Structure 1
Amino acid sequence: MGDATGTSGTDRAVKAKHRAMWALGDYAAVADELIPSLGAALVEACGIGAGTRVLDVAAGTGNAAIPAALAGADVVASDLTPELLDAGRLVAEGLGAELEWREADAEALPFADGTFDTVMSCVGVMFAPRHQAGADEMLRVCRPGGTIGLVNWTPESFVGRMFAMMKPYAPPPPPGAQPPPLWGDEEHVRALLGERVASVDARRAGVRVDRFTTPEELRDYFKENYGPTIAVYRNIADSPERVAALNRELAELARGHARFTGGADGMAMEWEYLLLTARRS
């Protein structure tokens, strides 16, 4: 944990708030019901197989770590929020996946230099406040010649736009924090990794989300299940006017990103992400 590295009281408070935010709602449901294929896509892109030593950074409930373990890899799933790790353990047990779950700060990983063959993160490290610190730590614990693998929501995606929309309603970010969707901008990630990587492969792709029949249903699902959205609504709870405004804006955002199928699903969306892999120099 970062606290062991002599972090300040302010930093510990930031981490505590971050941990508590992700414990809100039901992220296990979000990962399983909306983006179940995302982690497997990252595992495949990284070429993970039997015997690969893998670290999943900001693993959440194991959306990528569990597919890696099922592929035969030796996996550590690390996350700041123990509640997410506990939920992931239950999922892994149900699937017969064996892996290690470790509470850890993405900006201060408790592993030695060059420990892992593959260091990956699936819509996880993007939420650590200091992007360079997160990138530096992923690179540090990856062996020379190893693989860095990332899936992150793009700024133009539904999730990227949602974070931009929620920002005026959210508490002020901690000093030095950068917007999470910047991790979905290829040039930003290339700058973070710099000359410490080679053979960078980056492409945009999309995950189909067709669980919802109306924009309002999607909005209410996020209000109930997704920690960052819950935290924003709690921040404005004493202002009915702002709550109503955010309700409208989120529904309109969903409507703008949706295709209305006319079928039983009613509404389908394509959430864009950046898939980037690179070789550690």
Structure 2
Amino acid sequence: MTDTADAREADRALKAKHRTMWALGDYPAVAREVVSALGPVLVEACGVERGDLVLDVAAGSGNAAVPAALAGGVVVASDLTPELLEVGRREAAARGAELRWQEADAEALPFADGAFDTVMSCVGVMFAPHHQQTADELLRVCRPGGTIGLVNWTPEGFIGQMFATMKPYAPPPPPGAQPPPLWGREEHVRTLLGDGVSGFEARRGTVRVDHFGSPEEFRTFFKATYGPTIAVYRNIADDPGKTADLDRALDELAGGALRDGAMEWEYLLVTARRGGAAAG
């Protein structure tokens, strides 16, 4: 097998692993019950209007795609994990939102150059392993003058710290994969988008999470619903000591963040205008 064929096979295996991870548990419950406010924030920042062609990349169950459709956008919700899209279809129908759902890899989007007025992602593309490849695809499918909008968890915020807490218990990342919270650093996103955009704007915000009354409630919920957390616990399932250590570490993290029954989870919101040149 050639080096190129080896690389393709390794990429297919990695994507299959990601697809399986996000199908674990019940991520739509996280999107619906915990961070539902993030989608409308992104849609408003992108200025989605009636008739706009909108692509939501790594859309999950449609946290941003559904609000974009309800705002009048002609929306395609794409994600690597078909199980999430199926939940999104049902939830969108219940809310009276019409949009198209399509399985797609954020690093190799099956759409034409410049096909969309708005290309956005809400805590989605940050989990694709190869950041520059992903950014190049966001640029490629956005028309010149169109809008690129992103919401990503910051490294310093609660979810970024949760990933840092889980890291010692997780299997090592595959070669070439970059940490998701890097997308929460303004300078990293600026570098990724480069001269493919103009009018780059970034600001930090927080989403208020009042779903958990105690650290244990948070830990129990995320162990049951959130794919990355489930995958880490499965990695140490044969080591009760490590499992107990991670339980304590997550409880400590959540306990430090809870104030009067609520947490503030920090994110970076980026919007930019697509330039006229083709993505490199």
TM range (shorter): over 0.9
Pair 1:274 & 2:257 matched: no
In structure 2, relative to structure 1, the CA distance for the partners of 1:243 and 1:99 (3 Å cut) is same
Counterpart secondary structure, 1:8: helix
Shift of 1:6: 11
Counterpart secondary structure, 2:20: helix
Shift of 1:7: 6.6
Pair 1:243 & 2:243 matched: yes
Counterpart secondary structure, 1:256: helix
Shift of 1:101: 0.2
Shift of 1:257: 1.5
Pair 1:125 & 2:125 matched: yes
What does the per-residue CA deviation read over 1:121-179, in whole Å, with 9 as the maximum and x for residues that have no partner?
Answer: 00000000011111110000000000000000000111000111111111111111111
CA distance in 2, matches of 1:211, 1:176: 36
In structure 1, the residue matched to 2:211 is 211
Shift of 1:49: 1.0
Q: Which amino acid aligns with 1:224?
A: A
In structure 1, the residue matched to 2:159 is 159
In structure 1, the residue matched to 2:136 is 136
In structure 2, the residue matched to 1:87 is 87
Q: Which amino acid aligns with 2:130?
A: R
In structure 2, relative to structure 1, the CA distance for the partners of 1:84 and 1:6 (3 Å cut) is farther
Shift of 1:206: 0.4
Q: Which amino acid aligns with 2:265?
A: W
Query: Unaligned 5+ residue runs, structure 2?
Result: 276-280
Report % sequence identity. Answer: 72
CA distance in 1, matches of 2:167, 2:33: 25
Shift of 1:255: 1.0
Q: Which amino acid aligns with 1:147?
A: T
Counterpart secondary structure, 1:54: strand
Query: Unaligned 5+ residue runs, structure 1?
Result: 262-266
Shift of 1:43: 0.3
Counterpart secondary structure, 1:139: helix
CA distance in 1, matches of 2:131, 2:162: 19
In structure 1, the residue matched to 2:58 is 58
Corresponding pairs, count: 271
In structure 2, the residue matched to 1:228 is 228
In structure 2, relative to structure 1, the CA distance for the partners of 1:199 and 1:75 (3 Å cut) is same
Q: Which amino acid aligns with 1:197?
A: V
Q: Which amino acid aligns with 1:270?
A: E
Q: Which amino acid aligns with 2:26?
A: D
Shift of 1:41: 0.5
TM-score (norm 1): 0.95
In structure 2, the residue matched to 1:183 is 183
Shift of 1:118: 0.4
Q: RMSD between aligned alpha carbons?
A: 1.2
